[in-house]
Amino acid sequence: MWNVIKGETGRTVRPSGVLAVLAALLVAITGTGLSVGAGVALRTVQQRAADEAVSRRMELAGAAVAAESGRYVDTMRMIAASAGTIRPLTRTGFTQAVQPLEKMGLIGATSITFMVAATDEQIPRLRATWRDRGAADLGPGVTDPGHEREYEQQHEHIFPVFNHPLAGFAAPADGTALSPAATQALIEARHSGQVTISDSYVPSRDALLPPHRQQRSFVLAAPVHGPPPAAGSPRPFLGWILMEVRGQDFIGATLQHVTHGSADVRLRAHHSDGTDVTVTTLKAAGDGTRDLRRTGQVRVAQRHWQLELSATSAHLPGTHSALPVIVTGAGVVASALLAALTFALAGSRARARAQVVEATAELRAAEEASSRQAALLSAVLDSVSDGVSVIDEHGAFLLHNPAAKTILGIPSTNDRIGTWQRHYGIFTADGEDPFPTEQLPLVRALAGESAEQVPMMIRNLGHPDGVIISVSARPLDAAAGQAGAVAVFHDITAVREREDKLAATSAALHEELARHEADQAELRATRDELVAQKAYLTQILDAINVSVMTVDTGGRLVHGNRIARAVLPAGDAPTLTEIAAKLDMAYPDDKLMPVEETPLARALRAEKVNAVEALVAVPDGTRRAVMVHAQPLHHDGQIVGAVASAFDITALREREAELAAFAGIVAHDLKRPLAAVRGFAELVHESLSDQVGLDEQVLHLERVVAATWRMSRLIDDLLTYATARDAPLALAPLRLGTLVREVVDEHLAAAAAVPSAPMPQVYIGSLPAIRADAALIRQLVDNLVGNAIKYTPPGRAAHVDVTAHPAGDGWVRLEVTDRGIGIPPSEHQAIFASFHRVATAYSGTGLGLAICQRIAERHGGTIAAGDNPGGGARFSVTLPAA
């Protein structure tokens, strides 16, 4: 029976033709779906590879910049050390010391210079000395801005002495002026004693060039110290070694070698004025949207520069190609061809023959397109982090991707199987024995055997400490077009280290579990003992005449001993607010103390409160003076509460008040007759000084006058010492820089009144605001600066530095350093005792540093003495920040 179906063309289609159409449609739909899925999967793999590739380039770029800058810094240290050992340093000696730099490939380095510093009075002798050693005219020099002060009579100047050109740059004349950035780098290098890098700047040689041809430069500065004149003495400062470097040449070549033109790179430096300046930029070879970006920091000398990298995923090898589209298109075409073939086979023979011819031609075109993607697969292998190696049936390497060379540590290949072990340094996983050649995974794969995750150690010049790798190998089927073997390997050194640590931890855990049962009985016994001890400690706390109370993190009372319970409000767990209201706690001046400023509240904020005096109300209606200590309670690094102790000092304060009144009366009664003695002695001295033959009597009178002055200072120091301990603090925000400058001006004015004495040189850094008593802090600064100026060898100008640094947790560390006679290490603590003096050759009462210690402690801070690395002493005082 023949049923006929009419189509639009008017041709009749038999039932067999309908089946052919349906089969063809099914093949086409199924093939198209599979092709689209394969294309999407390939595109996802490419995107992941692009992210990994750009991250790897960022890591390589950062490591390259850090390594190259570290090489320059090490070079500066070497040249500075060499220059410090040449005595005397001449132009010939300097040239010989820096000559090796020309062979070190210091890209971008234009010149290296030796600099010296001198005050106004030292300049004539400096010019004559260095002229005799081969230097040209030193020129006017540059004034050190760190030593310019309106009250100083001498300024320090910096002079270039010797200059040696590098990398083909013309040598500038000796005495060339320095840029402000270079001058600041010299100051930082001298103070820190380390190699420093300056802010970047446009050198004068590039100022007239078009902006696109200008390069930003910077300098590296290293202090030069000579050998110590005697054992144990500090090394004298001789000058600086300064190297100028062109930023684009220095970093650009390094980054170009790493990125190979596949990414945009920008290196930005953070300047001391707070601005960010681009030092180097590199553009990728191609155009397009930069859809992959990375940012990181790189350490260059004492600074951190920002490295920015951006790339176009389409330009990264093996990360973006037409392969997904081609695979999808080829699959769709193949599906269409298969559908047509199915329809043809179900139709007429002639039509089938024609369609087969057409399908064969299209398949051949798809095959050619697939072949063109083979090169892209090689690029993909270059981007993966695992090593891949392929050899032919004779052991010759056909493929060795970059990751394989990095992991093996040997960039060159070796096609002789018998020498692989020695060439690459292949050992067993424990590193003891050479790995047998016949057991190597690639050798086994050549023999037709697969190898799975074979561990071995690679130890050679590239990996002197050895790395452990895991290797898997498979034979290649000659029927597939190439006989041989392929190996995939990756570095498992870190994994092995973690496994070893885990094994050790597991063994320790098993041992711990074995002791657990025995510990249970001991813990139970310990618990019972702790309960008994708790009861015992409660009895002890109730027996002492010191109030002790603890609170939890919410401020509720947890425990109070007998003394504390007598004054605490009623209730099981009163809060800090209720406790403060009950005690009516106030400052010594009777000003009400806010709840948040009470010692327990401060301790809950992680403060350690020592010796805070307060007034509290007691049940009999009187107010008592107490000394309170408080500190936080910790468990597993977390604050779980606070504890405070207080003892009654009312009687002590009453006696101190009596003693203070007595001291004032005694001081007044002592100073008045003492002033009369001094006045009469001075009158008699004036009367007898012009008479002949009374020299001995005049000398005795001078001794009397001097003794009265010393006694007057002793009385003043004793009163100051008592005031520093007992007087109430007037805490307020205080500009430390203004106060220090006023004190320094007073000392400099006093020094200027003595014409024969050299003028002190005082450097004042940037000083922050603090919260303190202005009168006491002025006394502290006056004592420290006065000691730094006084304890200097006769005939030498005092050099004093006053600086400050953050000390963390709301504290500031004030430092006063000098270049004086110093303090023996055994006396660093003893000097703060009352009336203790180390240098008896200098006048003084021995109370100055004791007063400083009391002032620091009254503010809750500390004071310490130490050695100054450049010679002299260093005093550090911690004070509360504003």
> What's residue 362's pLDDT?
64
Beta bridge partners of 802: 764, 816
Q: Are residues 224 and 235 in the same domain?
A: yes
Q: What is the pLDDT of residues 534-557, one digit of tens each?
A: 777 777 777 777 889 999 999 888
> Which two tokens mark 415?
């096609």
Domain residues for the domain of 844 are 730-880
Q: Using pLDDT thresholds of 50, 70 and 90, give the confidence band for residue 196.
A: very high
CATH number, domain of 109, equals 3.30.450.350
> ∠ at Cα 214 (136, 283), nearest 5°?
140
Task: Map 46-74 to HEC letters.
Answer: HHHHHHHHHHHHHHHHHHHHHHHHHHHHH
> Would the pLDDT of 873 be above 90?
yes
CA-based R_g, the chain, Å = 42
Q: How many domains does the chain have?
A: 6
**496 assigned to some structural domain:** no
> What's residue 757's pLDDT?
82
**528 assigned to some structural domain:** no
Q: Which amino acid is at 187?
A: I
Strands lying side by side in the sheet with 484-491: 397-400, 387-392, 484-491, 467-476, 451-458, 426-427
Q: Are residues 674 and 640 in the same domain?
A: no
**666 assigned to some structural domain:** yes
> Which two tokens mark 833?
């005792």
Q: What is the pLDDT of residues 585-596, one digit of tens each?
A: 998 888 899 989
pTM over 0.75? The answer is no
**533 assigned to some structural domain:** no
Q: Are residues 282 and 351 in the same domain?
A: no
**510 assigned to some structural domain:** no
Q: What is the pLDDT of residues 810-822, one digit of tens each?
A: 899 999 999 988 8
Q: What is the pLDDT of residues 386-406, one digit of tens each?
A: 888 888 888 888 888 888 888
CATH number, domain of 593, equals 3.30.450.20
**Per-residue buried b or exposed e for 384-403, using 16+ beta carbons within 10 Å of the residue's own CB:** beebbbbbeeebeeeebbeb
Do the Cβ atoms of 602 and 630 come closer than 8 Å? Answer: yes
Q: Are residues 213 and 341 in the same domain?
A: no
**816 assigned to some structural domain:** yes
Which of 259, 285, 311 is the last residue in one of the domains? 311
> What's residue 148's pLDDT?
44
Q: Are residues 286 and 340 in the same domain?
A: no
> Would the pLDDT of 419 be above 80?
yes
Q: Are residues 303 and 392 in the same domain?
A: no
| Residue 116 phi, psi (nearest 5) | -130, 165
CB atoms within 10 A of CB 333: 19
Q: Are residues 92 and 227 in the same domain?
A: yes
Q: Are residues 364 and 447 in the same domain?
A: no
| 154 vs 2, higher pLDDT | 154
Q: Are residues 806 and 718 in the same domain?
A: no
Q: Using pLDDT thresholds of 50, 70 and 90, give the confidence band for residue 365.
A: low
CATH number, domain of 834, equals 3.30.565.10
Q: Out of 136-140, 487-491, 587-591, 799-803, pick the least confident.
A: 136-140
Q: Using pLDDT thresholds of 50, 70 and 90, give the confidence band for residue 717.
A: low
Dihedral (Cα; 871, 876, 881, 882), 10-degree rounding = -70
Which of 647, 670, 690 is the last residue in one of the domains? 647
Q: Using pLDDT thresholds of 50, 70 and 90, give the confidence band for residue 799.
A: very high
| 585 vs 322, higher pLDDT | 585
Rounded CA gap, 471 and 482, in Å? Answer: 21
Which of 458, 491, 524 is the last residue in one of the domains? 491
Compute the average pLDDT of residues 773-799.
90
Compute the average pLDDT of residues 781-787.
91
Q: Are residues 158 and 227 in the same domain?
A: yes
Q: What is the mean pLDDT of the chain?
A: 81
Q: Are residues 692 and 638 in the same domain?
A: no
Q: Using pLDDT thresholds of 50, 70 and 90, give the confidence band for residue 720.
A: low
Length of the chain: 882
Q: Are residues 175 and 253 in the same domain?
A: yes
**448 assigned to some structural domain:** yes
**698 assigned to some structural domain:** yes
